[in-house]
Amino acid sequence: MSDQAVAVNRGGPTDKTLRIDSWWVEPVVTVGMLSTFLIYTTWAALVNEHYYVAPYLSPFYSPCLSTSCAHVTLGLFDWPLSPAILILWAPAGFRLTCYYYRKAYYRSFWMSPPACAVRDGHAQYSGETRFPLLMQNLHRYFFYAATLVVLFLWWDALLAFRFPTADGGSEFGMGLGTLVLIANAAFLSLYSFSCHSCRHLCGGGLDVLSQSPLRLKLWRQVSRLNENHMLFAWISLVGVMLTDVYVRFISMGYISDVRFF
Amino acid sequence: MASEFTMRVWRGDISGGEFKDYRVEAQEGMVVLDVIHTIQATQAPDLAVRWNCKAGKCGSCSAEINGKPRLMCMTRMNLFESGDTITISPIKTFPLLRDLVTDVSFNYEKAKKIPALKLKAKEADGTRRMYQDDVDRVQEFHKCIECFLCQDVCHVIRDHEDNKPDFAGPRSFVRMASLEMHPLDEEDRRELLKVDAGLGYCNITKCCTEVCPEGIHITDNAIIPLKERVVDAYYDPVVWLMNKLTGK
C-alpha cells in the first residue's frame, strides 16, 4: 500500500516514519551479526577439516555420524561429503524457526517492519499464513531435533576430560578447551530450554496448571528462562562459533590448548 | 524551572492537514498532555484531543510522540531537552476524525466477534473453584487499558489497510488469551484465532510489547502461546494422530 493510499483512507501524516532516534542501528547490527555467523558457519561446515583435535570436537560436527569422520560419534554409514551437513539442519532449523530470530530477521533482513512505527518495506503482506512461512509452525519439531544435538554436545564435553597419552591410552585431565566445550553446551542448553515451544510443551498448553504440579513447576522454570531467550540466543550463537574457532585454531597449530592438569 | 519547546502538532481531518508549530513553556513535572492543554488554552482553542483520566489508566490520550506510539499523559516533558522540537501526531492506523482524535471503532468491532467466557459445569457441591496458580497467568492480560497503541504500531494493519478485515490485532489476542487460558472456560477459540482473527499474520516483531504502557508481555505471554495452541490443533501431526486415536 502506498503512502498516498494511507493518506486518502485515514488522514494524518504520510511520512515513512516520524521517529528521530537511531531506529536503524538495531537492524544494521543484526544483519552484521547474523551474516557473519551464516558465512562463517557455512564455510566451517563445508570445509570438512580441522574440526577435531583430541579430545575436542567442534560443535559444528557433533554428533559425527559418518564412518569417515575424524572422530566418529555414531558411525551410521559412510558419507562422502562433510559430515556437518548430516546434523546442522537441526540447529539451523531450530534457529530459523525460533520465535526470537523470526523477530530479528523479519525486522532486519526483510524489513517487515525494519523497526516499530517505521513503514513496512513491502507493499503486500500475508505474514505466516502461506507457504513457505507457514512452515514456521514446525518449530517444535526442530526443538526436539536440536535438543538431541545438545545432548551429544554434553557427551563431547565429558569426553573433553579424556586426553590421549603417548602410549595410545587416555588419562583424565582438563584444558581450556574442556571449559570452552562445557560453556558451549551450557549456553546452547539455556537457549534450547528457554524456547517458547518448550514452554508450551512443559505446561503452557494447559488451562488448569494446578492439576499437574510437575508440569506447573516445569512451566514456571522454563518461563523464567524464557524471559532471557533473546540473550541466550545471542550468547549461544557467538559461543558456538567461537568454540569452533578455538578447536580449529588448535587443530591448525595457530594456538596451543592450555592444559590445567 | 520552566523550559521552552516547539510543539509540532498535526492539525487537520481525513481530507487533509499539516503540522503547525506552537512555542510553549513547560513547567517542571508537566507531561505532554499538559502542554497540549496549554496550547488549547492559549493558542488553539479548537485543537481536538481525546483524554480522560490523565493517569495512564483510561487509554484515551494515545498519540505518536516523535513518531513513537505513547500515552501523552505518561510522557514527561523532562524526557526532552529545552529548545527541542517535539512532533505530536495522531495514531496512524485508524481514520482521523480531527487533529489528534481518531476513530478507533475497528477495535470494538473486532471485540464483538470474540466469544465470551463459557463456564464449565459446576462441581458436585454446586460451586466452581479455581486456584491462584491458574489465575496468575491470566491476570496480566486484565491490565489492558485499551489504549490501542499495540493495534496502532502493528504493521500488519498499520501499513496494510487491506489486512484489516482478516486480522484482529494484538489487543484482540490479549483478550482471547485471557479467555482461552482461563481455568473455568471451555470454549475453543482456536479455529477463530486461525481463520477469522488471522493469528498467522503476526510475525512476532514484538512492537506491540514495546509500546504497551501497562507492560503486558503481549507477544511472549499471549500471542506466542496462542500460536502454539493453534499448532496443536492444525499443524502438529503427532498431536493430530493422538487426538484421532483417543477420540478427542
Reading the block at residue A91, the C-alpha cell is 540447529
**Phi then psi for A167, rounded to 5 degrees?**
-85, 10
Whether residue A106 and residue B204 make contact (CB cut-off 8 A), yes or no, is yes
Rg over CA atoms, chain B: 22
Looking only at the bridges linking them, the beta strands covering B62-65 and B68-71 are antiparallel
Q: Quick one: DSSP state of residue B76?
A: B
What is the C-alpha end-to-end distance of chain B, expressed in Å? 68
**Which residues numbered 79-108 in A keep a CB inside 8 Å of some CB on B?**
99, 102-103, 106-107
Exposed / middle / buried, residue B163 (Cβ in 10 Å: 0-12, 13-18, 19+): buried
A255 lies within 8 A of chain B by CB? no
- Residue A65 sits at φ, ψ, to 5 deg, of -100, -10
Mutation to test the B interface, candidates A1, A4, A9, A18, most B Cβ within 10 Å? A18
DSSP state of B66: T
Q: Do B96 and A103 touch (CB under 8 A)?
A: no
Backbone phi, psi, residue B192, to 5°: -60, -45
Say yes or no: A214 contacts chain B, CB-CB below 8 A: no
The residue in chain A having the minimum alpha-carbon distance to the alpha carbon of residue B177 is A207
Q: Which sign, positive or negative, has the C-alpha torsion A194, A197, A198, A202?
A: positive
Residues A147-195: tens digit of each pLDDT: 999 999 999 999 999 999 999 899 999 999 999 999 999 999 999 999 9
Distance CA B200, CA B156 (A): 11
> Which chain B residues are Cβ-neighbours of A205 within 8 angstroms?
225, 228-229, 232
Q: List the pLDDT tens digit at each of the 248 positions of chain B.
A: 789 999 999 999 999 999 999 999 999 999 999 999 999 999 999 999 999 999 999 999 999 999 999 999 999 999 999 999 999 999 999 999 999 999 999 999 999 999 999 999 999 999 999 999 999 999 999 999 999 999 999 999 999 999 999 999 999 999 999 999 999 999 999 999 999 999 999 999 999 999 999 999 999 999 999 999 999 999 988 888 887 888 76
Packing angle of the helix pair A229-251, A213-226 (nearest 10 deg): 70
Q: What value of ipTM does the predicted structure carry?
A: 0.93
